[in-house]
Amino acid sequence: MWYNREAVHHSQLTEVINPYNPISQQFFQTMGVLALSEEQTASYLARQITAQGFIIGANEIFLVIGNYFPCIIHYRLVRQTAFLRIAIKNLITAL
C-alpha cells in the first residue's frame, strides 16, 4: 500500500519538472554551478522526489489509521457498555 501511494505521489511531483519550467531550469543551473552534471542532478532530484513521495504516502496512511482508531475505541466502549447493562440486568433479575 505504501509503495502504491509513493508511486502516485512520485508521478504527481514529477509532472511539473520539465525543460520549460523556469524553476526546473534554475535548479539545474544551480546544480551545474556546484559542479554536478545533468545526470547527477537528475539522479539527485529523482531520489529527493522518491523520498518525498514516501513521506507523503506515510502521512496519508497515518491519517487513515488516525481516523479509524477512534471508531474502533468507540465501538469497543459501546459494545462493552451494552454487555455490562445486560450483565447487571441479569444479576438484578437473579436476585
- For the stretch 29-68, pLDDT in tens is 999 999 989 899 999 999 999 999 899 888 988 888 888 8
Cα–Cα distance for residue pair 32/18, rounded to 1 Å: 16
Cα–Cα distance for residue pair 1/85, rounded to 1 Å: 41
Instruction: Write down the mean pLDDT value for the chain.
Output: 84
Please tell me the pTM assigned to this model.
0.65
